[in-house]
Structure 1
Amino acid sequence: MKSRLIATLKVGAAASALLLGLAAPAFAEGVAPAAAAVQSTGQAPQGVTVPPLGFTKRVLANGLEVYSARDADTSNVTVQVWYKVGSKDDPAGRSGFAHLFEHLMFKSTTNLPPETFDRLTEDVGGSNNAFTADDTTAYFETVPANHLERMLFAEADRMGSLVVDEPTFVAERDVVKEEYRQRILANPYGRLFGLFVPETIYQDSPYRRPGIGSIEELEASSLEDVRRFHATYYRPNAAYLIVAGNFDQAQLDRWVDQYFGPLKNPTTPIPTNNVVEPEPTGPRNVTYYAPNVPLPAAVVAWPTVKYADADRAALTVLDGILSTGESSRLYRSLVYDKQIAAQIGSTPDFSQQAGNLSALAIMAQGHTADEGIAALNDEIAKLRDVKVTAEELAEAKNELVADALRSRETVDDRATALGFSLINTGSAAAADEEVAQIQAVTVADIQRVARKYLTPQRQSTITFLAADDQNPASVQKMNVDAPVKVADLAPAGPPAVLLPEAERKPLPQPGAEVAPVTPTVADFRLDNGLRVLVAPTDGVPLVSARLSFDAGSSDDPTGKAGVAAMTAALLTQGTKTKTAPEIATQIEQLGASVGASAGVDFSNVYANAPSNAFPATVALMADLVKNPTFAGEELERQQAQTLDGLRVALSQPASIAGMTVGRVIYGDAPYGATITQQTVPAITAADVAAFHAARYRPSDATLVFSGDITPAAARALAQQAFGDWRPAGAAPAAATNPAGQPLAPRIVVVNQPGAGQAAVVAAVRGVSRTDADFFPLTVGNTLLGGGFSSRLNQEIRIKRGLSYGASSSLGARADAGLFTASTQTKNETADEVADLILAEIAKLGTETPTQADLAPRRATLIGGFGRSLETVDGLGALVANLALYDLPMSDLADYAGRVRAVTPEQVEAAFAEHLPVNRASLVIVGDGSKFLDDLRAKHPNLEVIEAGALNLNSGSLK
C-alpha cells in the first residue's frame, strides 16, 4: 500500500508498539556488528567491516547530481529522486504543504495520464512510494531491471511537466485529511508525537510545525499555490537522482542525459530558509490533553545538533545505551525493575538545521506521568554524572554497526542510506564514514555530550493525559510563522495539461526480462525428528534462523486465550542458566535479533545475526527453546505489559475492529478467541510450562536457515545446538476443526463516542492454505485489495478521497481462514464506505475479470515474491511457510508459474464458491452518532454494542 508517509511523525520504536495498539514485545531485540566466532558466554564480538555503498557520481549541466551503483546479483533496479524540499519549507499558513504536494506528484504529467506511476511499477511487479521529512521529499520505485528506462522517463516527466487540475487537487487534499485523522486523531498518542512534541522542543525553527499540517491550513491551500510550489522547488539543481541495481552503466548514462538533460531550472532562486534555533533560555514544562488516552505519557527532550555535527555520533551511541533493547537503561529501570512504564523509548532526531533527543515513557496502569518524568530525569542525570561502562559502550556500538549492515541488504536499502546522507550533509562519503565515527566514540564522549546537551536548563518536559470535563482536549497551535511565504514562491507560469494521446511522447518499451533466481533448498532431519531446511544466498554477511512449531493460539486452553503468546514471550525471559537481563545483554553483544511469537496456527522462534556471530546466536536460541524457566515474576511482568497494550488497543477503532471480527466469523470456536483483559490474568506459570512441554517438540518443528551459510555448516550447527533435544512431555491430541461451524453473517457496530475515525471491516469465512483454489483466490484478492492500484483503493481513496487507503487480505490458515476487506474513514462516511467494500467483493464472484485486469495483479504478486527473496528474513519466511503447511519445497521455484496459470474464470468461480458477498459480515467501530441512522436504514438487523460493554470473551460479544 502506498503510504505517502510523513517521516516527521517521529517516535521511538517502543512507543510505536503502543501507538499501534500492540501488547508488550514478545522478544528481546538488539543489533550489533558482525563478529569473529563468539562463545556462548556472550563475549562481545569484534567489529565487522560494513561494505561501502559504492556509488559513482555524475553532475549534469543543469545541476542534477546523479549517483549510481550496479549490482548484477539482483533482478531489480531502484530509482530514487530526493528533492531538497521538506516540511520546513512549507510556506507560512500552509503547513503540510510539502506533504500534500508529495501526493500530487503521483498524478498526471503532460505525457502520463493519472495513476501511470502505479501502472509502471505495481503492474509490472514493482513498487513505488514516497515520503516527506523535515528537509526532503523523496520518491522511489523498485522495478524489474528491464523497466529502468521507463522509470527514468517518468521521473523526468513529472519533474518537468506535472499536471494538477482542480478536481485532482481537491480529491488528494481530502485523502491527506483522512491521513491526518488516522495518524493524529484516531491514534491515542498521535497528537503527542505528531503535534505537541515538535512544537514544544523548538522555539523558532520551522521544524516546530507538524509535517502533516492541519485540516485548517490544508483547506487554505489553493491550486495556484501548488503550481507555484512545484515551479520553485522541483528543479534539476535541487534534486539527487539515485539508481541502484542491475543495469549497464553506459546505457544508464545515455538515458539520464536523454531524459533529464533537457530539463531547465527556473530563473527565480530557491527561497532562503536557514533558521538558527536559539539556545534555550530555561526549562519548559507543558501538559497536554487528548481524548481516548488510555495511559499517561511523559516526554523529556532537548535540542541537540544538526545531522552534520561532529557530536551526532556520540549522541547516537548515547541513545543506544539509553533505550535500545531490553538491556538498555530505560527498559531495565522503568519497565523491568520498577515496572512503572508499559513502554519506553528515545529518539535521536537530526536534521539539516537542528536536532533533538527525546526520551519517553508510556506509563503502566496505576502509575503517573510525574513518576515517569522523575525516573527519566534520574536516568539522564546518571549519564551526566557517572561514566557509562565500557561494556555498555561496546554493546551500543555493536547494535548500531549491525544495524548499518542490515540497512544495506537490498539495492533500495543502499540507495536510501545514500539519499539521507546527501540530503543532510551534501556528501556521499558521509554515509560510509558513519560507521567509523560510531566506532570512534569513547566513554568520555558520552559523558561530555550528556553534560553539554542534556541539562535541566535546556530541557522540555511534556506530560500527556486523558482529557476530561475539567481539562478539555488541547488544540494544535495554529498561525505559526515560517521563513518562507507564499509570496516568495516562483510564478506558476502557464498550467501544464495532459496532451492528447497522439501528441504525447511515447513511453520507452521494456528491455529483456531479468528473471529472479530461487535457491536450491537443502532438506534433512536430525535423529530426534527435527526437520532442517537450508536456503543459502550470496550478499551481505547475515544469516537468519526460524524455528517453527505446530502450535498457536488456536491451541490455547479454553478460557485462557493468550497461553501460546505468553509462552513465546517468556522464552527470552529466563533459562536455567541465564536471567532475562543476561539474555538481553547477550543478544546485544552478539549483534543479533532474537525472539519468539505465536500466531493462530503456529509459533516461531527466530534469530538474525551477522554470519560470524551466528553460531553463538543459534546456541542462545537453542537454550531459550530447550531450557526456559517460566518464572512467576517474569510471567507477572509480561501479563502487566500485555494488559497495558490491550488498554491502548481498545482505544483505537482499527484495533477494536480487528479483535471483534474474529468473534463475528468464528464465534466461540478456537479461531474466534482473542487475548482479553480477563484471560491474561488467568494464565498461570503451570499453564505456560505445560503448553511448552507438550507442543515445543523437535518432531513437530522445522528449523529454517537462510542467508550466508552452506548446507554443510547448517547441518553441523543444527546438530550441535539441537541434536540432544528431546520432548519434555507427551504429545497432545491433534486439534480438529479450530474454525468451528460456519455462522450466519452479522452486522456489528461498536460505538466509540469521540473516535477520530471509523474502522470498517467486511469479513467472510475463507479457505485453508492448502485449498485447491488458493492461487485463484490469491490473484483475485490482489485484484480486489492488494496494492495501491487495487479496486478497493481505486474506488475509496483515489476516486472519492474517503480514506488514506483500503486493502484486503485472503487470511488463509490451516483450517478455514479469515478473509477481510478494510479501511478507515471519517465517521460520517462509514456507511458509504461499507457499501463500496461490499460491492467490490460482490463483483469478483459475479463478474469475470478480464485478462487485462489480471495481468498486472499477477505481476504484483510475482514482483513482491522476488523482492522477498532479496532479504535473508524474507527468504526464510517463504521457506518456512511452505514447510508449515506441508507443501513441497519445489513450490518456491514454481510460484511464478502457479500465479501466471490462474485464469479469469477460475478467479470468478473461486470467489463465487468461497467468498460470496451474501456470506459477508460487517464490523464498524467509530462514533455511531454520525453514521448509525444511515447504516440502520440499509441494515435493520444491525447490532450496536457500546465500546465499554464489548465482551470479546464470548462469540455473542455481549
Structure 2
Amino acid sequence: MKVILKTLCLCSLALFVISCGQDKKPEETQETSQFKVPVEYYKLDNGLKVILSKDETAPTTVIAVYYNIGFRIEPRDRTGFAHLFEHMMFQGSQNLGKMEFIQLVQKNGGILNGSTRFDFTNYFEVVPSHKLETMLWAEADRMRGLAITQENLTNQQGVVKNEVKVNVLNQPYGGFPWLDMPQYANTNWYNAHNFYGDLEDLDAANLEDVANFFKTYYAPNNAALSVVGDFDTAATKAMIQKYFGDIPASELPEKPDISEPRQEEEKRFVKDDKLANKPATAIAYHMPERNTPEYYAMGLLDQILVQGENALLVQKLEKEKGYTSSVSGGINYLGNMFNYNGPMQWMFNLTYDNETSEADVITAVDEVISKIEAGVTQEMLDNAIVKMRSQLYDDLGGFFGLGRADLLCSFALFDDNPDRINTIEDEFRKVTPELVNKTIKEYLRPTNRTILTVNPLAKQENPQS
C-alpha cells in the first residue's frame, strides 16, 4: 500500500500569511500569531468539490483528487478491494493507455502517487505550474472512464497479492500494528476487517465488481479536487469547468453504520510471528468522536504522552527504564488526526529485548497514565500546543503543498468546509485542564484499551539471531 508520509518536510514559512494581531493591545497579542491558508471553495453542478489555495513561492502546483471511498466501507467478501482499485486507476483511461498517465507526469518533470486510507482514496501530482492544464485533463480523463479489462484486473490482482506477501506476510512485524490493531480493537466489521485484503477475496474480484465500484464511487459528486500552488485563479476555474464539468454524477448508496460500541473491558491478544526475534507491544485506546472537544483534548494528550523527546511515555520507557530505543505512536497511523472520518484509536508501540516482559512494559505504562490522572496542568497544555503547532506547520507546508492539499480535500469531503484548516489552532486553544482531565478519565481507562503483543518465534528457531 502506498502511504504518504505522515510528517512532511517544511518547505517555507512564506507559504502562509501570518496574522499577528498588530492592532490589539499588548495583553491581547500574546499567542495570537498563526498561519492563514488562502482557501477558495466552490462546487460544480455535478457535485465535484473544488478547493483552490494559491501560493506563488515556487513555480509548482499540486493537483490532488480525493474520492470519498476508503477501505473502511469496501464491499463485504471483497477485503482489499478499495486498495486493488487504487492500482486499477493507473492502468489506463479513455485517452491514456496503460502506464501512460505515469509517463505523462514524469516526462513533464513531475512526481505522482496514490494511496488508500480508512475513508478516502487519493491521487496527486506535483508538476511545474505551466503543466497544470495537462494534469487537470489527465485526472478528468480517468474520472470520466477507466480502462476496465480482464487483462488489467488479473495483472493488478497479482501485483496487490505480491504486495501483501512482501509487506505483510513475509516481513517481521508485518502489518504490526497499523493493520493488526483495528482488527483486534474494533467490533464492527467495517472497522475490523483486513484492509489490505485476504488473498482469496482479492482473487474473487471480477470485472462486474470493478465496473460497479467505479461507476458508484469514482464520480464527481463523491470527490474533492484541490489545486495548491502557483496558478492563475480565473484560468484554473475555467479549465476545471472545461474538463470536469460534464462528467456525470452517480447515485451514491447510503453509508453503512460504522459506529463502535463503548468498550467496557480491556482486551489482550498475542500474535505469533515466526520472523520476529524480539517481542513488541502496541496499546490502543478508542478515540473520542471526531471534532468534539474531547477529540482535541486527545490531540494534546498525544503530544504530552508520545510526541517528542520530552513526552512522558518516551521518558519512562526509553530514558528511565531503557526498555526500548523508540516509542512510536499517534492518532491514525495511516495519516494524521485530521484526515479520517470514523472510529479511530490513539495508539503507541515499541519493540523491546527478550529479557523484558510484557508485564514490565504495561506496568511502566500504567505508572505514566496514573501520573497524568492526578491532573494535567495549564503549563503542560501550553507546551503541548507548541509541539502541536510545530507538527501542524510541518504537515501544512510540506512537500510543495501536498500536506495542505490533503487537509483541504479531507475537510471538504468530511465536513463540507475546507476552511476548517484555518481554525485548527483555535480548537486546540479552547482545551482546558478540566476538559483534559475529564477526557483522561473516560478515554484512558484500562477498560477502553486493547493490548497486542508480538510473540517472536524466530528467537526460538535461531537462538544466535
Do they fold alike, i.e. is TM over 0.5?
yes
CA contact (8 A) 1:285 1:461 kept: yes
Correspondence 1:333 to 2:316: yes
Q: Which among 26, 31, 34 is matched to residue 50 of structure 1?
A: 34
The separation in 1 between residues aligned to 2:123 and 2:350, in whole angstroms, is 34
Q: Which among 451, 456, 462 is matched to residue 466 of structure 1?
A: 456
AA matched with 2:378: A
In the alignment, what sits opposite 1:772?
none
Structure scoring higher RCO (CA < 8 A, sep ≥ 6) equals 2
In the alignment, what sits opposite 2:97?
113
TM-superposed CA distance for 1:75, in Å, is 0.8
TM-superposed CA distance for 1:151, in Å, is 0.9
The separation in 2 between residues aligned to 1:434 and 1:81, in whole angstroms, is 22
AA matched with 1:83: Y
Q: Residues 295 and 424 of structure 1: is their aligned pair in 2 closer, same or farther, counting only changes over 3 Å?
A: farther
CA contact (8 A) 1:289 1:466 kept: yes
Normalization by structure 1: what TM-score?
0.44
The separation in 2 between residues aligned to 1:383 and 1:421, in whole angstroms, is 32
CA contact (8 A) 1:363 1:369 kept: no
TM-superposed CA distance for 1:310, in Å, is 2.8
The separation in 2 between residues aligned to 1:357 and 1:251, in whole angstroms, is 43
The separation in 1 between residues aligned to 2:418 and 2:2, in whole angstroms, is 25
**Structure 2 unaligned regions, length at least 5:** 8-17, 21-29
CA contact (8 A) 1:70 1:247 kept: yes
Q: Which among 2, 7, 13 is matched to residue 5 of structure 1?
A: 2
TM-superposed CA distance for 1:48, in Å, is 6.4
Q: Please give the per-residue CA displacement for 1:243-294, whole angstroms capped at 9, x wherever unaligned.
A: 112221111111111111111123x432422322111232212111111212
AA matched with 1:360: N
When the two chains are superposed, the root-mean-square deviation of aligned CA atoms in Å is 2.6
TM-superposed CA distance for 1:947, in Å, is 11
The separation in 2 between residues aligned to 1:96 and 1:947, in whole angstroms, is 36
Normalization by structure 2: what TM-score?
0.88
TM-superposed CA distance for 1:61, in Å, is 0.8
The separation in 1 between residues aligned to 2:303 and 2:453, in whole angstroms, is 24
Q: Please give the per-residue CA displacement for 1:762-784, whole angstroms capped at 9, x wherever unaligned.
A: xxxxxxxxxxxxxxxxxxxxxxx
CA contact (8 A) 1:184 1:191 kept: yes
Q: Which among 252, 272, 276 is matched to residue 289 of structure 1?
A: 272
Secondary structure of the equivalent of 2:231? coil
**Within-5 A mapping of 1:786-805:** none
Correspondence 1:311 to 2:294: yes
Q: Please give the per-residue CA displacement for 1:822-855, whole angstroms capped at 9, x wherever unaligned.
A: xxxxxxxxxxxxxxxxxxxxxxxxxxxxxxxxxx
Q: Please give the per-residue CA displacement for 1:458-498, whole angstroms capped at 9, x wherever unaligned.
A: 2212222113799xxxxxxxxxxxxxxxxxxxxxxxxxxxx
CA contact (8 A) 1:348 1:357 kept: yes
The separation in 2 between residues aligned to 1:469 and 1:123, in whole angstroms, is 48
The separation in 1 between residues aligned to 2:396 and 2:447, in whole angstroms, is 39
In the alignment, what sits opposite 1:415?
405
Q: Which among 194, 207, 212 is matched to residue 228 of structure 1?
A: 212
In the alignment, what sits opposite 1:401?
389
In the alignment, what sits opposite 1:210?
194
CA contact (8 A) 2:294 2:436 kept: no
TM-superposed CA distance for 1:6, in Å, is 4.8
AA matched with 1:402: S
Q: Give the number of aligned pairs.
A: 439
In the alignment, what sits opposite 1:591?
none
TM-superposed CA distance for 1:205, in Å, is 5.0
Correspondence 1:272 to 2:255: yes
The separation in 2 between residues aligned to 1:341 and 1:163, in whole angstroms, is 49
CA contact (8 A) 2:293 2:431 kept: no
TM-superposed CA distance for 1:240, in Å, is 0.5
TM-superposed CA distance for 1:89, in Å, is 1.8
AA matched with 2:325: A
In the alignment, what sits opposite 2:24?
none
The separation in 2 between residues aligned to 1:87 and 1:112, in whole angstroms, is 27
Q: Residues 344 and 264 of structure 1: is their aligned pair in 2 closer, same or farther, counting only changes over 3 Å?
A: same
CA contact (8 A) 1:307 1:425 kept: no
The separation in 2 between residues aligned to 1:194 and 1:209, in whole angstroms, is 12
TM-superposed CA distance for 1:361, in Å, is 2.8
AA matched with 1:274: D
Q: Which among 320, 333, 341 is matched to residue 352 of structure 1?
A: 341
Secondary structure of the equivalent of 1:190? coil
The separation in 2 between residues aligned to 1:194 and 1:345, in whole angstroms, is 11
Correspondence 1:456 to 2:446: yes
Q: Which among 428, 439, 453 is matched to residue 418 of structure 2?
A: 428
CA contact (8 A) 1:205 1:277 kept: no
Secondary structure of the equivalent of 1:191? coil
Secondary structure of the equivalent of 1:307? coil
TM-superposed CA distance for 1:223, in Å, is 2.2
**Within-5 A mapping of 1:594-673:** none
The separation in 2 between residues aligned to 1:62 and 1:425, in whole angstroms, is 18
Q: Residues 324 and 311 of structure 1: is their aligned pair in 2 closer, same or farther, counting only changes over 3 Å?
A: same
The separation in 2 between residues aligned to 1:210 and 1:200, in whole angstroms, is 10
The separation in 2 between residues aligned to 1:330 and 1:165, in whole angstroms, is 51
In the alignment, what sits opposite 1:367?
356
AA matched with 1:391: E
Secondary structure of the equivalent of 1:111? coil
AA matched with 1:180: V
TM-superposed CA distance for 1:117, in Å, is 1.6
CA contact (8 A) 2:161 2:199 kept: yes
Q: Structure 1 segments of 4 or more deviating over 4 A? A: 946-949
CA contact (8 A) 1:47 1:398 kept: no
Secondary structure of the equivalent of 2:34? coil
CA contact (8 A) 1:6 1:99 kept: no
In the alignment, what sits opposite 1:127?
111
Correspondence 1:390 to 2:378: yes
TM-superposed CA distance for 1:101, in Å, is 0.4
Correspondence 1:171 to 2:155: yes
The separation in 1 between residues aligned to 2:380 and 2:133, in whole angstroms, is 49
CA contact (8 A) 2:277 2:458 kept: no
AA matched with 1:440: K
CA contact (8 A) 1:128 1:141 kept: yes
CA contact (8 A) 2:277 2:459 kept: no
In the alignment, what sits opposite 1:600?
none
The separation in 2 between residues aligned to 1:336 and 1:372, in whole angstroms, is 13
Correspondence 1:144 to 2:134: no
Q: Residues 251 and 195 of structure 1: is their aligned pair in 2 closer, same or farther, counting only changes over 3 Å?
A: closer
Q: Please give the per-residue CA displacement for 1:53-78, whole angstroms capped at 9, x wherever unaligned.
A: 21101211111111112222321111
TM-superposed CA distance for 1:168, in Å, is 1.5
The separation in 1 between residues aligned to 2:84 and 2:158, in whole angstroms, is 10
TM-superposed CA distance for 1:365, in Å, is 4.6
**Structure 1 unaligned regions, length at least 5:** 14-33, 37-45, 471-752, 754-945, 950-958
CA contact (8 A) 1:323 1:329 kept: yes
Q: Residues 290 and 347 of structure 1: is their aligned pair in 2 closer, same or farther, counting only changes over 3 Å?
A: same
Q: Residues 382 and 333 of structure 1: is their aligned pair in 2 closer, same or farther, counting only changes over 3 Å?
A: same
The separation in 1 between residues aligned to 2:218 and 2:288, in whole angstroms, is 28
Secondary structure of the equivalent of 1:327? coil
AA matched with 2:381: L
AA matched with 2:157: R
AA matched with 1:278: P
Q: Could you tell me the percent identity over the aligned residues?
A: 27
Q: Residues 284 and 408 of structure 1: is their aligned pair in 2 closer, same or farther, counting only changes over 3 Å?
A: closer
TM-superposed CA distance for 1:144, in Å, is 0.8
Q: Please give the per-residue CA displacement for 1:134-157, whole angstroms capped at 9, x wherever unaligned.
A: 100011111111111111111111
The separation in 2 between residues aligned to 1:394 and 1:102, in whole angstroms, is 41
Correspondence 1:377 to 2:366: yes
Q: Residues 194 and 313 of structure 1: is their aligned pair in 2 closer, same or farther, counting only changes over 3 Å?
A: closer
Correspondence 1:158 to 2:146: no
Q: Residues 205 and 304 of structure 1: is their aligned pair in 2 closer, same or farther, counting only changes over 3 Å?
A: farther
TM-superposed CA distance for 1:336, in Å, is 0.5
AA matched with 2:177: F
The separation in 2 between residues aligned to 1:237 and 1:113, in whole angstroms, is 25
Instruction: Work out which of the two has the higher radius of gyration on C-alpha atoms and give 1 or 2.
Output: 1
